[in-house]
Structure 1
Amino acid sequence: MKQVRRSDVETWIKQMNAAGLAPGTIKTRYVNVRSVFRAAVKDRVIGSDPTDGVRLPRGRRADVAMSIPSPEEVGQLMAVADERFQPFIALCAFAGLRLGEAAGVQFGDVDFLRRSLKVSRQVQRVNGGAIDVRAPKYGSERVIYLADSLISVLAEHVTAHGTTGKNRWLFAGEGDDPPHQNTVGYWWRKTLRDAGLTSIKLHDLRHFYASGLIAAGCDVVTVQRSLGHAKATTTLNTYAHLWPTAEAHEARSGVDHVRVARPTRRTPSRLGCGYG
């Protein structure tokens, strides 16, 4: 058996980085491998841990790494998508659902009268192409309020195609199951090709939704809850670069008001500066 050296680990990390894997994915894989080597050292199977001293690639800035489709591109995707896949795209672009969350939507999750959607599960692919229906990521259970147009898209989909299986899945997979990543990936690649678009990931539609909320003036907590982030810091770390224009405008307005009115003890609270 070949002895693994530190240089081998560094080469492996460089290969993952060159393949375009996200820093978080590389870190997760590295931590898993490192735990095996550390256990081997503890059990005296090997003399030293080849992962010691290895540095991981730094995370990319969100504003550089993130790709946000334009409204025109989202419109193109909706226009050419298969009518059975169109509402899937709509849920990702106009409700911010992750792939697994959209795949796991059941008819009973949609409240057509109150125009809301309850996110309470996700679909994940496991070995052999099977699926595993599980709770969404920690803190991601949420109720999302939907636009009238999105409610109409979902209602038309159910009217035309019904639901799947005893659980009444909104989207069909194999047999009575909902779709998994492979099925959705096929639909997505076909839609991109038909729209004449490239380099857009399905997850980018979630960024499109978040950017729309921010452009509409939603605050951090509202965006956090709509996306199902466990912490507001996650939202800020991902989307802070989309807020500067609004923040600058509010800051200038606040400063101008203070100069004219002269600040009193109650002025800062009234300006939303967090004092008082």
Structure 2
Amino acid sequence: MAWEAEKLSEVAKGTHLAPAGGKKTLREYYETQYKPRKEWAPGTVRAHDQAMKFCPFAERALRDINRTILQDWVASMRLTLKPLTVRTRYATIRGTLAAATRDRLIPFNPCTGIDLPSQKTTPWDIRIPTTQQVSQMLSRSVGAAHVALAAAAFNGLRASEIVGLQPRDITPPILKIRRQIRRVSRGVVEPVPPKYGSYRDIPLPTKLADLLMWQAESVGATGQEWLFPGNVAGNPISYASVRDWLLDATSDWAAEIRHLHALRHYYASALIGAKCDVVTVQRALGHKNPSMTLDVYSHLWETSADEVLEATTMLMSSVYTDRSALSPQSTGIQPGFEGCHGP
């Protein structure tokens, strides 16, 4: 009776563990219970599988994994791996053990309090192509290559979003971003939601709309067909094709800007230069949140002292509309503000 009462108490407190649950190895639990519940992209699956592959205690029983084992493992990884890699592999194990805790296989997650290597929070090293460089790039590109690179430079699209475009997305003055293309395996791709679920309607310049519609007409694409069809029937072109178009047209560019993301930076810098606020830029680029946009581009929003002075002068002018009504004499404040104390 005492044993039964103890178990009923554990159930009531939420501390009851599944019988023999902790005997499962970390790898067994990961493969049979944790991973099957996840809807990961293929690349994410590979990253988690790799973390488990190189985990030295993957064959240990869940109940035998303690904080000391975890801390020693992290310390050993720090000797040969970059901080980001250490944190990524650790996150896989932490997530697996957290799930085992929720499944009542172990009483608590031993990952609590583990010291991880810090990541340097240095500003992003953003290199932006000049307008002259972008103009030269486009002048060297023809046909589909010209259209794809223009979409990157003047609407900030990711390569995966460019290859996922369809004629139905072109609705001037708006370009609808409703999907990106994900590679499943060799020759097999699938349309998935945009990165971070960033479905968005981007203001579409007239000239870019004309280019996109020209591309649709040139390949005979309508409705849900691909704007940039590939060699494999039913598939769009690959990211590599867009990358190769850029490389072919930028042979004289410095390595730091010779990549497609530099064209997104070019687009973002134009928005910021036109005084667009951070939320507007974030939505146009499809960033996860405004803080991500600020992390990357905050230096482009630098405000000069003259702008601050102009803003505060205008602010005071809106309050001090009547000099006599709000003068130091009328409010009891002496010139120089002597005797005026803050809270």
- TM-score between the two structures when normalised by the length of structure 2: 0.61
Per the TM alignment, residue 260 of structure 1 is displaced from its structure 2 partner at its CA by 5.5
Structure 2: gaps spanning 5 or more residues: 1-53, 58-72, 322-343
Distance 1:148 1:29, change over 3 A: farther
- Which shifted more, 207-216 or 171-180? 171-180
Match of 1:235 among 288, 293, 302: 293
1: CA distance, partners of 2:89 / 2:149: 30
Query: Separation in 1 of the partners of 2:133 and 2:243?
Result: 18
User: In the alignment, which residue of structure 2 is the partner of 1:154?
Assistant: 212
How many angstroms does 1:73 deviate by? 1.6
Pair 1:2–1:57, CA change in 2 (3 A): closer
Report SS of the residue matched to 2:161. Answer: helix
Which residue type is aligned with residue 167 of structure 1? Answer: Q
Alignment of 1:88-103 (within 5 A): 88-103=148-163
> Is 2:86–2:117's contact at 8 Å kept on the other side of the alignment?
no
Is 209-218 or 230-239 further displaced after alignment?
Answer: 230-239
Residue 95 of structure 1 contacts residue 146 of structure 1 at CA under 8 Å; is this kept in 2? Answer: yes
Query: Are 1:80 and 2:148 an aligned pair?
Result: no
CA deviation map 1:210-264 (0-9, x unaligned): 110111111222212212234222222222211113x655422122235556546
Contact 1:82 / 1:191 at 8 angstroms: preserved in 2? no
> Is 1:140–1:228's contact at 8 Å kept on the other side of the alignment?
yes
- Partner of 1:91, secondary structure, is helix
Unaligned runs of 5+ in 1: 18-22, 265-276
For the residues of structure 2 that align with 1:124 and 1:109, how far apart are their CA atoms?
18
Same amino acid, percent of matched pairs:
33
Which residue of 300, 312, 316 corresponds with 1:255?
312
Residues 188-203 of structure 1 mapped to structure 2, 5 A cutoff: 188-193=246-251, 195-200=252-257, 201-203=259-261
RMSD, aligned CA: 3.4
Q: Distance in 1 between matches of 2:249 and 2:189?
A: 23
2:87/2:116 contact within 8 Å kept: no
> What is the count of residue pairs matched by the alignment?
246
Q: Does 1:144 align with 2:220?
A: no
Q: Report the CA distance between 1:186 and its aligned residue.
A: 2.9
SS in 2 for 1:97: coil
Aligned partners of 1:143, 1:2: CA distance in 2, in Å? Answer: 43
Distance in 2, Cα, partners of 1:226 & 1:99? 15
In the TM superposition, what is the alpha-carbon distance from 1:149 to its structure 2 partner? 1.7
Shift in Å at residue 172 of structure 1? Answer: 2.0
Is 1:178 the counterpart of 2:246? The answer is no
Higher RCO, 1 vs 2 (CA within 8 Å, ≥6 residues apart)? 1
Which TM-score applies when normalising by structure 1?
0.74
Structure 1 segment 1-276 matched on structure 2, within 5 A: 3=56, 5-6=73-74, 8-14=76-82, 27-32=87-92, 35=95, 52-62=114-124, 65-111=125-171, 114-163=172-221, 167-173=224-230, 174-193=232-251, 195-200=252-257, 201-245=259-303, 248-258=305-315, 263=320
Distance 2:97 2:132 in 1: 50
